[in-house]
Structure 1
Amino acid sequence: MRTIILILIVSISTFTKAQTNIVLDTIYANDTKNVALFFPEPIRQGITGASNFVFTYNREKEQYFGLLQAKPGKESNLLVINKDGSVFSYILKYKERISKLNYFIPIYSNIGNEKPIETDSVLVKTSEKDIGISTYYYQKYCAYLLDGKQRIGRIMKQNEDIVLSVENIVFDREELYFVIQLENNSTLDYDLSFLNLSIETRQKGKKKSLQTLYQKPIYIHKLPSKIAKGKMMRFVYVMPKFSLSKDHRVILELNEKDGERNLKLNISRRYINNPN
């Protein structure tokens, strides 16, 4: 009996330490303005820890946002559970004057899931420690971008029903994220040999020439080796942050394995220097 009690105490202690390692963001609110929180999935439940904070959301019809108001008093916390079981938690504080009225909550900022995610017994669950903090962050942020609908402009090239396009270019921390789409509208599968990102420089002078320098990605998310006929795939290239001068541009070069349906997509420097 003593052994069981000892194990229980150790387990509770370990769980408490794990929870205290999570640093929660703080959201400020007052009683004169609505603070809107937009979540990646519809809100299923939202609870505040004190009565001087009120979080309202549509309980009858699923919606992606909720409104927060506060009265003067001690700080509290907000717990929100999305439709998919993702759990979000924040510290709440009253502030007489607030400047930020809208919070767009990214999916990777959740602190966990309401239910444990079941995995195949053959697969090993990937953890932050196993793959490194940076790679873990890239995975989460790339997945978030692929779930989003944000676009930067019309950047595309087509050759024999193979369409290569860049949907979005996003700057985050010290990296540029290229959200790329490859569409196969042909009647044959497309086997990918390589997709390279390079910077092309136009040399000045009497004899104009081009110099192309390959840029190695830091991380590649969900790059396919084959696009089946009639299918489309989206993936992300993560590159170190860079900017371009007037005589530079980015080239995406797509090459087919054992085929000739190759593409070169030019990306203007204005998209690189002004990402989302």
Structure 2
Amino acid sequence: MNKYIITLLFALICSTLNAQQQLDTIYANEHKNVALFFPKPIRQGITGASHFVFTYNREKEQYFGLLQAQPGTDSNLLTVTNDGRIYSYILRYRRNLPKLNYFVGDMESIGNEMRKTIKEKPGILPISEERKRVSFFEKFSKYLLKLKSENLKTKRKKGLKLRLQKMVYQGDEVYLVLEFSNNSGIDFEIDYLNIYRVNGNKRRKSSYQKLLQKVVYEHELLGMIKNKDSNRFVFVLPKFVLGDNERLEIELQELKGNRKVVLKFN
């Protein structure tokens, strides 16, 4: 009887170890946001290839992140939550997604990172480099909004107007100063504002690429723009330079409606 119990326990342990080594696969595409909900707020998330983009709130830790993908080879996602738990998944592009929401459990963690304890001086609160970085983004964005507005590109559609006013390079980031005006007669609630780098012609699919850009900071973007109102705001992205055949596409989608404004700039 004891031999039987020991054999059964050994089999269960081996089965558990094998299950931990087999990473789950998450599917994504460029048309929809796939949401991943973790048991603890996300502290860090990174993908293994640029055609997969995982975005999460870097200013205020939240429990979920959003995944999008462009066609390409499989990659992986590594995520660390604020309790040090590590989660890893295989990423795969698929035109038709099996699901849009993934709820991650504690048992899916592949391990826990070792974190060094830093002794703090009494009475002094340490300011992390990330907090300094965000503080600079905020101050520089406020400064840009005080400057006289310009007009690099404007897109109008049925009373809606999206304007790219400035594109300013500073350090390792590029700042986009934008303005959205609503004179459509109906309030406009924003679902998302995505920024893409587009290369090639959509009619020639073999050479066409549309890559979602990661936004590291956004300043004063409102969720609702009332009729006859406008909103000036700033998006901060990692530094990039458009090539000869590249353009920037800024896509603004309505939440509870079909209205969409797409501004193209090159």
**TM-score if structure 1 supplies the norm length?**
0.47
* Structure with max Cα Rg: 1
**TM-score if structure 2 supplies the norm length?**
0.49
